[in-house]
Amino acid sequence: MQHLRPRSTCEPFSGTGAVSYLFKAAGCSVHANDHLECNAVAARAVVVNSDVTVSDAVAAGLMDDEDHGETFRVMRRYYEGVYYTDEENAWLDRVVERIHERLVGAQRDLALFALFQAALIKRPYNLFHRANLYMRLADVSRGFGNKRAWDAPFSVHMARFLEQANGAVFDNGRQHKATTLDYRELRSDADLLYIDPPYLNGRGQGIDYLDFYHVLEGITRYRAWPDGIDMRFRHRPYRDHRARSLTTEPDVRQALDHLVAAHPHAAIVVSYRSDGRPSVDELVALLRRHGREDVRVHQNRTRFALSRAAASEVLLVAPG
């Protein structure tokens, strides 16, 4: 993509913000957008933020073991035995409440970002779609997972991730923003639109990212979290009807069609999988239908880690 030389970029489905951060490092002005608030927190922490860090003293105050009167106990009340041990749930409740009560702006975002990473690394599969604490605690011979990471204290993980997050903060001299807009509300005059749409496999099965990361999403809205917990399911997902994943082929097709049409002057880059639906050929046809005659398809033959399908990464590049 070096030949495109964008000065400004927009990512409609920015996820954790890794690509948006890469564009910032390349000197671009960045607009990161994702329907999950936890992903907007990540983008604000290390993409939008150019100069704010969290000191060791502030971090220590967040993570000390003393009871300072924290009373809002979501993990202990609703997730006992689901994802973490009782001791870990108590630690999470204390730290999350302190972050929201004591910090604002970029400092809060950085602390939450580090907490998210700590919460994920202690989970089998780094997800929250199953109530599977037993996988961590079972006394069995293991050929799967990182037992040392699972057993290390939350405070050790969070301190390490906060140090890394602080070290990722820099100023590239440009302005950035992070939003949680529906793709239909997104308007950008960026030079480059980088689209990494929700993935549907060859059978047309989509992913509900809110179901995968609902605990992180709940943490961002800690006081309102209990109102959205669905107690009908063992993993007790958080149901935020404002955050809708695109989980069907018509949804994804409509989103891509809308985004390309709404940004006629931007270069378009679509990050995709060779076995995705709609197919790569269908996406090429979609781009050409909007006047993008010069569509280049680049395929990386390396297979995805942990994927059973013989799929590889594909980039579709259509200059503006």
> pLDDT at position 89, please?
96
Residues 249 and 147 placed together within one structural domain of the fold: no
Domains: count for the chain: 2
Residue 42: inside a domain, yes or no?
A: no
Residues 275 and 300 placed together within one structural domain of the fold: yes
Which CATH number do you get for residue 262? 3.40.50.150
- Specify the pTM: 0.93
> pLDDT at position 290, please?
95
β-strand pairing of 312-318 with 296-303: antiparallel
> pLDDT at position 199, please?
78
Average pLDDT, the chain: 91
Q: What is the tens place of the pLDDT at every residue in 175-215?
A: 999 999 999 999 899 999 999 988 787 777 778 889 999 99
Residues 261 and 320 placed together within one structural domain of the fold: yes
Across the range 69-85, mean pLDDT stands at: 92
Is the per-residue pLDDT at 303 higher than 80? no
Residue 45: inside a domain, yes or no?
A: no
- What's the CA gap between 288 and 250, in Å, rounded? 19
Token duo for residue 52: 């704010």
- What's the CA gap between 203 and 38, in Å, rounded? 29
Range of the domain at 3: 1-37+173-207+245-320
Residue 268: inside a domain, yes or no?
A: yes
Judge whether 95 and 75 are in contact, CB under 8 Å. Answer: no
> pLDDT at position 141, please?
80
Residues 199 and 151 placed together within one structural domain of the fold: no
Residues 14 and 80 placed together within one structural domain of the fold: no
Residue 43: inside a domain, yes or no?
A: no
Residues 121 and 15 placed together within one structural domain of the fold: no
Q: Which DSSP symbol is given to 80?
A: B
> pLDDT at position 161, please?
98
Residues 29 and 178 placed together within one structural domain of the fold: yes
What's the maximum distance between 2 C-alpha atoms anywhere in the chain? 63
Residues 179 and 312 placed together within one structural domain of the fold: yes
Q: Please, what is the angle between helix 105-121 and helix 154-168, to 10°?
A: 130
Residues 182 and 202 placed together within one structural domain of the fold: yes
